[in-house]
Structure 1
Amino acid sequence: MSEQPPAGGAAEPTELAPATPEFAPMWGPEPEALGVEVEPTGHPGVDAALGLLGRLDGVPTTEHAAVYENVQQSLSTILGSLDDSLTAP
């Protein structure tokens, strides 16, 4: 028994339609580098984590989330260790 498209409807397309000119800029090449500089904080761990953000220029935007998550985790760990050192006897 073969499946039929719903009444009044067509089968789902198997290929994506080509980009229309109005959407082409949205899917164009990766954005240009912003060149944002990160100033040193004086804490080696924080500076190393923030240095990762400075290297995002030229990295495809699809890979940015992983870098942001890595930096966030590193900074959270550093902050947690600072709290631990303040509460230690």
Structure 2
Amino acid sequence: MNDAMPEPADAMPGPETVPPGDGGHEPAAAAPLEVVRELTGHPGVDAHLARLAEVDDLPADGHLEVYEDVHRGLRAELTSLDAQPAPRPYENRS
């Protein structure tokens, strides 16, 4: 004879134990975001922005390195625009 008490009908089921890697869910494959990048007309900026397309072929944990590199490059381009050009020989009239 079984002395175990039957569970009430409204009892919550216990947590299921699923072995690691056996959940039946595989991560989705990388898919291109297909973001349209418009040219700016500035070759340096356009080269850095074109590099963003590389993340389409990388897993998510590889995106950060590309984003940081592009960000550094764009900052350098902006900094170079702020730099004052050296006076040309014909402009230096004292």
The bucket for the TM-score relative to the shorter chain is 0.5 to 0.7
RMSD: 2.4
Partner residue, 2:53: 54
Q: Which runs of 4+ in 1 moved over 3 A?
A: none
Deviations 1:33-79 (A, max 9, x none): 11112110000000000001122212111110000000000011011
- Describe the SS at the equivalent of 1:52: helix
TM-score, with normalisation over the residues of structure 2?
0.61
**Is 1:38–1:54's contact at 8 Å kept on the other side of the alignment?**
no
TM-score, with normalisation over the residues of structure 1?
0.64
Alignment gaps of 5+ in structure 1 = 1-16
Choose 1 or 2 for highest CA Rg: 2
State the identity %.
41
Alignment gaps of 5+ in structure 2 = 1-18, 88-94
How many pairs were matched up?
69
